Amino acid sequence: MSTISNEAGPRPIGFTAPSGIDRAAHHRLDEAWLAAAWSHPTTRVFVVSGGQALVDDTPDGRTELVMTPSFEAPLTETHRYFLGTDAGGVSYFALQKDSLPGRMDQSARPAGLREAGLLLDARDAALMAHAVALENWQRLHRFCSRCGERTVIAAAGHVRRCPACGAEHYPRTDPAVIMLVTDEHDRALLGRQVHWPEGRFSTLAGFVEPGESIEQSVVREVYEEAGVTVGEVRYVASQPWPFPSSLMLGFTARATSSEIEVDGDEIEEARWFSREELRAAFESGEVLPPYGISIATHLIETWYGRPLPRPGAAG
């Protein structure tokens, strides 16, 4: 079995680095405190619309969220979400609007999380992920699932209440498992979803079903998607994945069979890769790496032993 020294280690998992933001959930029901925080001159606000926010590239090469003082923010009657405070006492809010505001200097641009999450620092990435997840939930859950009446926003954007039957509804998070499967030869099992570009391979993944443990979900999903049975399952790490409302639970799993039979519905192709085979495939461009923001990259790089080569890179 060949090994590769861990020269740089796997890259960090997106949206999980310490952000310095305290969500301060105990303030969400305190209307007086929220009003004071909103009117404070240090408060910073940004707009989210359709999963996007405005970002700006700074002269020193950084990318940051476009935030303004609250008195410069667009008006909104109800869709104002309190996201938390930092160690300096600055409060952060997001406004949900039908469209993003324009900028006089034309230097800002709209960006979604898949792009911005790779560019923003930990604070801005965490704020944007929180806001995008709330916006999506708010847009899709405007009516009470118990009685059908329109609900109203409460708790600074983190609850919807039904004025008719009194039901309270909370943001939805769907648990999903994502796993790097290895066999007795320490090869990694990677698959390509049917809607991905030709050559794009990544780890297998799927949603946890009702009444199922996360370990059972790993076993079931690997067998359903690739026809491979697994035994030992070990938890690695988690990642918020607001695309639109998931929590990715990362695992490694040891295969007890090696014959592959893809389902054809979700997975079009799956292959076993040794480290040398994966390196050569990436370098030649035959295989495209997974998106860098995903925990899949972390799982593969932990096994691989170093950051994944990119097409055209030298060994």
pLDDT at res. 283: 87
Residue 230 and residue 184: Cα distance in Å, rounded?
Answer: 11
Provide the residue type at 157 as one letter. G
- Structure confidence at residue 107 (pLDDT): 81
Q: What is the pTM of this model?
A: 0.90
Per-residue pLDDT of the chain in tens (315 residues, 90 and over written 9): 333 334 556 778 999 999 999 999 999 999 999 999 999 999 999 999 999 999 999 999 999 999 999 999 988 767 999 999 999 999 999 999 999 987 656 789 999 999 999 999 999 999 999 999 999 999 999 999 999 999 999 999 999 999 999 999 999 999 999 999 999 999 999 999 999 999 999 999 999 999 999 999 999 999 999 999 999 999 999 999 999 899 999 999 999 999 999 989 999 999 999 999 999 998 899 999 888 899 999 999 999 999 886 554 444
> Using omega within 30 degrees of 0 as the cis cutoff, is the peptide bond preceding 244 cis?
yes
